[in-house]
Amino acid sequence: MAETNTPTTVLREEHRLILKVLDALERVLNEGSAVSAQNVETLAKFVSFFRLFADACHHGKEEDLLFPELEARGIPREGGPIGVMLAEHEQGRGFVRQMHEALPGARAGEAAAVDALVSAGRDYIDLLRQHIDKENNVLFMMADRVVDESSCARLCGEYAHVCSGKFSGQTKDELQELAAELIRAAV
């Protein structure tokens, strides 16, 4: 059974899921000025999804597998799109860390912590949407041009190996189920 896999097929699929979860987060943040106790627990689940799926599972494959492959094929890291993507991954980690650190205060009903949580959430949404757009339309287009078929097959095997691992004890399937739960809850 032939599948039309390119070096970015799996990553683009993951982008689609991450974008849906970002939309769900936006809906939660837009629900009202006050973040309720129940919302804080929902937001904690969003933070888990971003840490384990968006960062560990997805950015992990880009940083450890795709980007080095592209560098080896002449796409520069410094001063080029890979460097920009890496810097944005780091910026995203900063926003997720801020959200995570604000959770205890938000649970305790501290207004400053709630504000910090909402503000970091909005910053993360804005960053990731434009970041994914750049990856899909610039770097991934380059990747699909420069990675030949045999390297593509090897890369896809390596992606599958990462995807079959666990992320803080959770499988990719479980994290996708968490995403579905968050998307359903935020309708």
Q: Nearer Cβ to Fe ion, position 92 or 121? A: 92
Q: Which residue is nearest to Fe ion (CB)?
A: 135
List binders of Fe ion among 118-157 (CB under 5 A): 135
Q: Nearer Cβ to Fe ion, position 8 or 48? A: 8
State the Cα–Cα distance between residues 98 and 106, nearest whole angstrom. 12
Q: Nearer Cβ to Fe ion, position 35 or 132? A: 132
Number of residues in contact with Fe ion under rule CB under 5 A? 1
Helix (H, G, I), strand (E, B) or coil at 80: coil
Contact code string over 78-97 relative to Fe ion, x by CB under 5 A: --------------------
Helix or strand run (H / E) with residue 170: strand 170-171
State the Cα–Cα distance between residues 166 and 56, nearest whole angstrom. 10
Shortest distance (Å) from residue 138 CB to Fe ion: 12
C-beta separation of 96 from 85 below 8 A:
no
Q: Report phi then psi at 14, rounded to 5.
A: -65, -35
Per CB under 5 A, residues contacting Fe ion are: 135
